Amino acid sequence: MTCRDLKSLNPTERKSFLDSFDEVLCDCDGVLWLMKEPILGSPKAVQKLRSLGKKIRFVSNNCIYTYDQFYMLLEKLGYGNEKDSLVIPTMAIINHLKNIKFDREIFLLGSAGLRTELENEGYKMAPKGPGLTEIKLPEIIETLKDNPNVGAVIVELDVNLNYINLMLASIYLKRKDVILLNGGSDKICPFSKDLNFIGPHYFQVLLEEFSGTKALHFAKPKELLAKYACDKYKIKDPKRVLFVGDTLEQDMKFASVNGFQKLLVFSGAVSKEELEKNKCVDLNPDYCLDTFGSIVDIVNSTQ
């Protein structure tokens, strides 16, 4: 581990750190909240940084919520409701579909929130295969047929994912005119301190490899989400941006790839012990803290 614990810095170093960035891009799950409950001190951290004139933006791989639901949650948990302060893969995917003038059906392996926003923009969803079913091979084979109206397959967290719908997606992707778009691609989705869900990454990789189709990725750690965020907020100098996250492969790599400063907190997916074992430079944070809320003490010690 080569990062510096912010608590170990002297007052001069702490002030230098705080003066080194103008904007904060902050992950949500594992940094701001777990299971819709705020992580102790995080709301005050956001408020304190805003009082210093820092611009706070929220960048999450979570597509479960609609935009309105996400903003309502931010406000309810004490993070404010500033307009246009949110970036999620849903937004970047829809922006891409608009740019390419997409006008065909979408086969979605994803959440209700993403589906709602796609439908709000006028996109039509292709029907999915049956859910729970008996294993009767002739009937299953009968459902596995191409739908020529499908022009895109979108994959992110889908708690109702099943074998038949994965097969349907692979059948559609055999056609060269069908594009594959990936939303949130986390390996681990932290829901509480003791419960991590299997992330959509594994199903996305499976589908890419089985279908032979290269996906466009619209979530951390890939550049397309960063490009969308930088364009949206007109970020010119990434070195003046602090990214706060709780994962190595999504958050810290995302910050490294895009030239942001990196702050890792241990309130979500990664422990100090796991960080100690990391050997990849791109995944190493510049700084670390037990929780995002601890930054309040860092600020107070310089005033």
88 vs 219: CA distance, rounded Å: 7
Asked about 29 being catalytic, the answer comes back as yes
Give the span between the Cα atoms of 269 and 6, in whole angstroms. 20
Q: Per DSSP, what are the bridge partners of residue 189? A: 197
42 appears as a binding residue in the annotation: no
Residue indicated by tokens 């001190």: 41
62 annotated to a ligand binding site: yes
C-alpha triplet 248, 294, 2: angle, nearest 5°:
40
Identified catalytic residue from 5, 19, 22, 27:
27
DSSP string of 226-245, one letter each residue? HHHHHHHHT---GGGEEEEE
246 labelled ligand-binding:
yes
Is 220 annotated as belonging to a binding site? Answer: yes
The pair of structure tokens assigned to 85 is 């302060």
- Flag whether 120 is marked binding: no
Compute the CA torsion angle 269, 272, 274, 275 (nearest 10 deg). Answer: 100
Q: Measured on CA atoms in the order 95, 97, 98, 100, is the torsion positive or negative?
A: positive
Q: Is 99 annotated as a binding residue?
A: no
27 is in an annotated binding site: yes
Active site residue 84: no
Catalytic residue among 5, 19, 22, 29: 29
Structure tokens at 284: 């190493």
Give burial (CB, 10 Å; 0-12/13-18/19+) of 136. Answer: exposed
Residues identified as active-site:
27, 29
- Binding-site residue numbers for substrate are 60-62, 220
Would you list which residues are annotated within the binding site for Mg(2+)?
27, 29, 246
Binding site residue list: 27, 29, 60-62, 220, 246
